[in-house]
Structure 1
Amino acid sequence: MDTRLKWKATALLTWLLTTEIAHCLPRVGNEVEATLQNTATESASAFETQYPPSSSEDRLLIPESHPVYRVGLQQDGHSSQQPFPQFDVAKFVDGLGDLLGSGDDTTAPAPTAPTPSTDTGKSDPIQATTSAKHPENSAPNPTAGSVTDPPQKSTTKSDEPVQTGSSPVASDKPKAMHDQDIFQPVATGPIPASIKSRDDHPVKNEHANATDPIATNKFYAGLYLGTQTNATFTQPYSLAWSKGGGSLKSWGMIVSHVQSHMLAYGPPNNKIPGNPVQYYINPVGLQHLIISATELGQSSVMNVEQPKAFSAHAVLKSSAGSAQQITFPVVQGMGYATAVYNDMEPLIESGVFFRKVVSAGSPRPGIFKYQAFLDDDTTWLLYATPADGKDPNFKLVSKTNLRGPKGFSGTIQVAKNPAGKSGEKFYDNSSGVYPVAGEISGSLTDDVGTYTLSWTKAGKDIKGTPLIMFALPHHVHSFDSATKGRITDIHLRTTTKGNSTAVIGESWTMVEKNLPIDIGFAPWSTTDGSVHELSAAAQRAIIQAAPHELKQNIPEQTDLNSMYYSGKALSKFATLVYTVNQLGNNVELAADAFQTLKKSFDLFVQNKQQFPLAYDTIWKGVVSTAGYNGDLNQDFGNTAYNDHHFHYGYFIQAAAIIGSLDPSWLAANKEWVNMLVRDAGNSVANDAHFPFSRSFDWYNGHSWAKGLFESFDGKDQESTSEDTMFAYAIKMWGKTTGDASMEARGNVMLGILGRSLHNYFLMEDDNVNQPANFTANKVTGILFENKVDHTTYFGANLEFVQGIHMLPLMPHSPFTRRKEFVRQEWQAMFAENASTPASKVEGGWRGVLYANLALIDPKAAWEFFAQPNFDYSWIDGGASRTWYLAFVAGESFG
């Protein structure tokens, strides 16, 4: 067994012994009775059942089997490929001798992205994490003066700029917007004719019933994928179909909530100051409460109805075709777990065990309340609203079973109450109603964005009864004044995003100020905005470095067996051409490369790349055909909807630059690029071809990368910087095409990402949302809905884990990567006295680290990129030294 797995197994066993069994040990019998005596809300018929019995032997309950705590990085759903291919410079650069100062005419194999092993069906992890060997020869020094001094900002240029002529660029100066709706349609037309439809997607849709496109990357996917037993994380609750599993062998819906003392932690990392743990994980399989019915059993089935962006309905039936059913409206942030019964006998179960259940009267006519005290010292509230208005008279028949009347129709709601009497009042006040769907609206005025989450509700007395919903920390921080006034003192921990807060009302409005509306294609800083005017020294450096990179073989670097790698290469060359054309003020130098770039992009528009795209009519989206050959991990799982915002964001950004330099190019290419926007980030819910916002989660404040892969720990995301790249790309594509709504939406998404990444992913010393023994990792690594693991899918080197949250270094990077965060991360990991000095890192990751350093120390970054004998193996396949020189020079002004 792998040493890491042995350690995890030992840690989990220790945790189980010290935590789970400890919960079962005898407690002082009168302690609970003293604090939980009958309240004023109890009816005269209130009853208390003595569970567990007073016998200490009977109290030490050993379950038939412990819950399963799955730890470790799940490989299903993500390939272990590096985030950039290890190109052999010799193959891709014409005139290698000029570039490297050598006359060798070296050749290399034809370019492809790393190819999965034929033995395992997955990439060779050793090969994937090893940098290719590059010649040690150096390129000429690109600077005209001393390389020890970064270029200084000049008010006048010593060189006359070359006229741009027929290559205008849309001005980075933002147009004034007032109350611009950010959710106008991108396009409404059919799929481009070059994209053929297929109805044979490798992942069959067997349990999601919808004629509308299904949002493949949403939180409720565990309800319809695979075994249908994986948890759905609504926050703060987790729901899962028991399906005959666990110690109770129930067939109902599990509702659980994990407190911080129950977490399991990974080993400490002594390479990072503070020795933070590598991961933390919430236990899965806990059965705090199970909402079930006596009729459910082995013939029971569950299907998902009305899957939408913020909600879905899980429908449990006693058997296929039966009218007896329980419908669970599953909505992000819901205050209660709600079950709508139709003619069934309710059975509320607990694998944690009922200590006692108290009938607590009626908060309002027709609603019947119970207090459930569980054996883990938690208190839950249960509200029953029978359709006939009669008292359901629930009975506690054992330490695990609370039973209601036969033939029950109506609703049952459960909620965990950590706030005592005051919390109970809020829950009482909102009982009987529940959300069934959510929607979002938003607008932009100047540099202020607002967005509103609102919910449709159902239940009893919906006009006079407000909803209670849970908000995440980044919501609360940006609430407008009206929403702030409806915050309660009920707080429940979420699985990976700190404490949630209960808020009263059917809608929340969030405000994001100081949006980076002036970010364009040029380098951008938080203090000076877009920097179009570089110093003469910086311009000379760009013009001297560019010819060597413009000689690269653009068609071969862009036509790869991967949409991801191809998109990165197209983005690299588009950014390179822009840098020479606009920042170096030399249109002619990049003219040939620009024409070649447009031809290379056209290969994809014509759908003639190595693995063409197909329109999947099952789930409704545009996917790579690479995964139709039996291995869904091909191209990082694109065929199964993994990473679409990562992959397509690069194409969209490249198109934005090409279209800005040559507006005549847009007419023939706009439809195809808009198709990518609609697939990964559609702006409307009534598009017959694509779901709303496949990747970006407007509730969680960031995207989820995992698509149609069953996962015990829910959705996940590995690269926050590529998430930001997508928002930036659609902002710039909207600007280039004149789509004001898309541009505004990109701006608002950037603002939300700036806040959510600071709260959850990019952790400064004062972060309070992640565990204190984890925050010194500085980045989360991979953040799942149920765990956070400081690693990547392709290796655990610090430059990998931290660097995947850096690349690509683009104009948007300074906005989401705050200076204080970058400073703390650099000092902890990549400074000369740290465990992993950037100066010792191999391959393209070294360039990534030093470009990131420009955000806090542009002088040192300039010295790195402008040094004599620069080794081009330090530039990854998705970047160029020319752009990095411009990026660093721009940062030196900030």
Structure 2
Amino acid sequence: MGCYGQDIFQPVALGEPPNSIGLRDGHPVPRLGISDPGGPLETNKFYQNFVLGSQGSPSFVMPYTLTWAKGSGNALSWGMAISHLDESQKVFGPSNADIPNAPAGYYINALGIQSLILSAAEFGQNTALTTDSLLPFSVNVHLQPSFGSGSVLTMPVVQGMSFVTGQYVNLQPAIQSSVFFRSIAAAGQPAPGIYKYRVTLEDGKIWLIYAIPVNGLTPNFQLVSSTLLRGLPNWYGDIQIAKLPDDSSESIYDNAAGAYPTAGHIAGSAHNTTAQYSLSWSKGGAYSANTTLLMFALPHHCDSFESSTRSNMTNLTLATTTKGNATAVVGDFWVLEETSLPVSMGFAPWRPEDATDAQGSLTLSQAALSLIQNISAIEASQNMSAQSNLNSMYYSGKALSKFAQLVYTMHDLLDQQELAKAALLELESCFEVFSTNRQQFPLLYDTDWKGLVSSASYVTGDPGVDFGNSYYNDHHFHYGYFLHAAAVIGYLDPTWLVANKDYVNALVRDVSNPSSLDQWFPVFRSFDWYHGHSWAKGLFESGDGKDEESSSEDAMFAYGLKMWGKTVGDASMEARGNLMLSVLSRSLQNYFLITSDNTNQPADFIGNKVTGILFENKADHVTYFGADLSYVQGIHMIPIMPFSTLTRTQQFVHEEWLTYFADGAVRQAIDIDGGWKGIVYANLANINPSAAYNFFTQPNFDWGWIDGGASLTWYIAYSALLGGATT
């Protein structure tokens, strides 16, 4: 890579979690079929369904979908079913807004289509699925006729792989289809020892099969029926399968056959406002020494490819389930670049175009200062303990972050140092409840999956309590607020760091450990460097895969990470947070926050402006807690923080406002109730800070318009310093 500077992926720490956090085994979710787990196990990855529940829900590998058939479908197969749907095959649902010409309320890709199936004649009802090497970008999936059998079909499943590869050991290959074979033709040998077949299914789709026997002899596939293509018994070798969108792409697959990725890796460095990071792959296959990998890139990858990687892009594209078209790229590694890291972003209001440290250049008018000082005094007198010591890590974290932002605003922006110092002491006392693990449901270190989870589900028996924190759901949403609060406290009182740094770093490591050297936590539990954003869902089986409901709280974690790194002087962590924010800004604008010129989400859906809940397999313009449009849009706004202007561009906010909240729009802002009203108007400050400032400073302002995790003081200062108060 051409960028030299700070290593972005240095370990945070390597020691055990703080003594205040007890160790406990017996997690409610068993580790189904995981062989030799050894170190920490991933809990929020694309392959999680293989180790949860029925083990029969899909894995969305991009661009393919893999599902253990388990005797289902026309083929009654017990192998690994492969499917890929074209963009035209998406199914759209009715709008959730009762207005003319409203966009589709959701779209989904059909499940259960078994185009081709990697299987074996020996597979039946006793077939066992096991896994090993559960890594950030990959997993090895094994199918055996029964547990302990020496015969095995192993599939290295890696994000972006261009072939689905099966490694056969002493099995009789069975390539099946529940869509039915229309025709199969031998198509020569792209290289000596690689036997190619061209398959046309009854749906008209064309697939390629490459067989690479260990002994070099023909696999002698025979078409037994419309659902079964069978090879030789006691066979050893690899079989690779790929979808062919058009004839012009065939030679691209031919040149890549015989090699496949086995694991992915990330590295990178940052210097000033530029970072370069690489995605690279270990590879296997009989021809891997002389064959370069072919991997599929998502649209946001292509946008940020460095020139040498960009030159290796091909004309081969396949639709993905929810991320537009994937483009095949020739290369064993990619180099990606972000040239506008938000290094100058601090705790103060900020815009991407700010070239200097905004934190030191902002001033409030005397009129605005007097007005906000009166409000801050009211908010600082609230009972911080009552609002923060709750039975939820999520709501507790929101309260701590809210008061931290209030204290910062008073201290640095409002010239209220003495009042801020008193509030800071109270805030430190509230945070100590958590750093000493004395909250209502203390954290524990789960020795099975290896991570910090709430004890709530252990005590109540309810998997969904506190949004499933005990089951590793939403950790990035929950702990990001704690990181921000800790960053502010440590910034204002550096002596506080001595007793609290290890605790906060443990939260960082649980969600976002950057290094395999740390054997206490998996690498990047939540953030997916292939997709460019985080996933929620945790240890819950899900037919449509992982999902994310709040893109803004995803960014909140990256922001908290950056600011905590800055506060404690961890340059690698700070750079990592900056890079994550930049990558998130790119991916969110490609997939979640939809402007009218978006080409990655379907034309019938982009009018929604946000995806709502984005799953791996569908987008649904709702929330988990209601379908009111202020909720659906607002959950992608909260919290309104300095990073909001980075991830939510002015073009997007303008289009969203006109669509939903302006006078005469679907859900006029003036008609919104409760805390969502304050959120929507604080978001308006991005494009019309004067209107936002006037709203928050109106006479007889209703405090019910402020969400429990937000500060009116901050909202007014935010609007004012973005340009809302010029006098």
- Give the aligned partner of residue 440 of structure 2: 610
CA distance in 1, matches of 2:492, 2:686: 27
Please point out which of 391, 394, 397 is paired with 1:567: 397
CA distance in 2, matches of 1:672, 1:300: 44
Equivalent residue letter for 2:385: P
- Give the aligned partner of residue 308 of structure 1: 135
CA contact (8 A) 2:142 2:154 kept: yes
Report % sequence identity.
55
- Give the aligned partner of residue 625 of structure 1: 455
Matched, 1:413 2:244: no
CA distance in 2, matches of 1:435, 1:467: 7
- Give the aligned partner of residue 325 of structure 2: 499
1:371-421 Cα offsets, whole Å, 9 max, x none, are 00111111110000001111111111111111111111110000001131x
SS at match of 1:793: coil
CA distance in 2, matches of 1:572, 1:301: 50
- Give the aligned partner of residue 235 of structure 1: 62
SS at match of 2:225: coil
Please point out which of 589, 596, 600 is paired with 1:769: 600
Extract unaligned runs of 5+ from structure 2: none
Bigger RCO (CA 8 Å, 6+ sep): 1
Matched, 1:485 2:303: no
Matched, 1:349 2:176: yes
How far residue 810 of structure 1 moved from its aligned partner, in angstroms, is 0.2
CA contact (8 A) 1:272 1:828 kept: no
1:792-818 Cα offsets, whole Å, 9 max, x none, are 000000000000000000000000000
CA distance in 1, matches of 2:237, 2:185: 21
Q: How does 1:605-754 map to 2 (within 5 A)?
A: 605-628=435-458, 629-754=460-585
Equivalent residue letter for 1:285: G
CA contact (8 A) 2:468 2:474 kept: yes
CA distance in 2, matches of 1:540, 1:450: 45
CA contact (8 A) 2:691 2:724 kept: no
Matched, 1:578 2:408: yes
- Give the aligned partner of residue 661 of structure 2: 830
SS at match of 2:597: coil
Please point out which of 300, 309, 329 is paired with 1:474: 300
CA contact (8 A) 2:585 2:646 kept: yes
Please point out which of 641, 664, 677 is paired with 1:810: 641
How far residue 526 of structure 1 moved from its aligned partner, in angstroms, is 2.6
TM-score of the aligned structures, taking structure 1 as reference length = 0.79
Q: How does 1:217-256 map to 2 (within 5 A)?
A: 217-256=44-83
How far residue 609 of structure 1 moved from its aligned partner, in angstroms, is 0.4
Equivalent residue letter for 1:601: F
How far residue 270 of structure 1 moved from its aligned partner, in angstroms, is 4.2
CA contact (8 A) 2:151 2:171 kept: yes
Please point out which of 201, 220, 227 is paired with 1:393: 220
- Give the aligned partner of residue 431 of structure 2: 601
1:263-290 Cα offsets, whole Å, 9 max, x none, are 2211134446741010001000000000
Q: What number of residue pairs does the alignment pair up?
A: 717
CA contact (8 A) 1:542 1:580 kept: no
CA distance in 2, matches of 1:178, 1:465: 29
- Give the aligned partner of residue 211 of structure 1: 38
SS at match of 2:110: coil
- Give the aligned partner of residue 549 of structure 1: 379
SS at match of 2:695: helix
CA distance in 2, matches of 1:364, 1:686: 40
Equivalent residue letter for 1:877: G
Equivalent residue letter for 1:630: G
CA distance in 2, matches of 1:471, 1:624: 36
How far residue 247 of structure 1 moved from its aligned partner, in angstroms, is 2.5
Please point out which of 659, 668, 683 is paired with 1:852: 683
Please point out which of 880, 884, 892 is paired with 2:711: 880
CA contact (8 A) 2:260 2:285 kept: yes
Q: How does 1:276-295 map to 2 (within 5 A)?
A: 276-295=103-122
Matched, 1:514 2:340: yes
CA contact (8 A) 1:216 1:708 kept: yes
- Give the aligned partner of residue 256 of structure 2: 430
Q: How does 1:86-485 map to 2 (within 5 A)?
A: 179-209=5-35, 210-271=37-98, 274-420=101-247, 422-485=248-311
- Range that drifts further, 444-453 or 538-547: 538-547
CA distance in 2, matches of 1:270, 1:306: 45
CA distance in 2, matches of 1:538, 1:655: 28
- Give the aligned partner of residue 630 of structure 2: 799
- Range that drifts further, 262-271 or 319-328: 262-271
Equivalent residue letter for 1:691: P
TM-score of the aligned structures, taking structure 2 as reference length = 0.97
SS at match of 2:521: coil
1:673-726 Cα offsets, whole Å, 9 max, x none, are 000000011111231110000000000000001100000000000000000000
Equivalent residue letter for 2:144: K
- Give the aligned partner of residue 66 of structure 1: none
How far residue 608 of structure 1 moved from its aligned partner, in angstroms, is 0.5
Equivalent residue letter for 1:457: K
- Range that drifts further, 655-664 or 388-397: 388-397
CA distance in 2, matches of 1:414, 1:833: 53
Extract unaligned runs of 5+ from structure 1: 1-176
CA distance in 1, matches of 2:365, 2:345: 20
How far residue 356 of structure 1 moved from its aligned partner, in angstroms, is 0.4
SS at match of 2:212: strand
CA distance in 2, matches of 1:269, 1:343: 53
CA distance in 1, matches of 2:176, 2:556: 46
- Range that drifts further, 270-279 or 362-371: 270-279
- Give the aligned partner of residue 788 of structure 1: 619
- Give the aligned partner of residue 155 of structure 1: none
Equivalent residue letter for 1:404: G
How far residue 598 of structure 1 moved from its aligned partner, in angstroms, is 0.2
CA contact (8 A) 1:272 1:776 kept: no
CA distance in 1, matches of 2:353, 2:22: 47
Equivalent residue letter for 1:456: S
How far residue 615 of structure 1 moved from its aligned partner, in angstroms, is 0.3
Considering only CA atoms, is the larger Rg found in Structure 1 or Structure 2?
Answer: 1
How far residue 212 of structure 1 moved from its aligned partner, in angstroms, is 1.3
CA contact (8 A) 1:680 1:694 kept: yes
Equivalent residue letter for 1:812: F
CA contact (8 A) 1:781 1:789 kept: yes
Equivalent residue letter for 1:381: L
CA distance in 1, matches of 2:364, 2:340: 25
1:159-179 Cα offsets, whole Å, 9 max, x none, are xxxxxxxxxxxxxxxxxx961
SS at match of 1:524: coil
SS at match of 2:10: coil
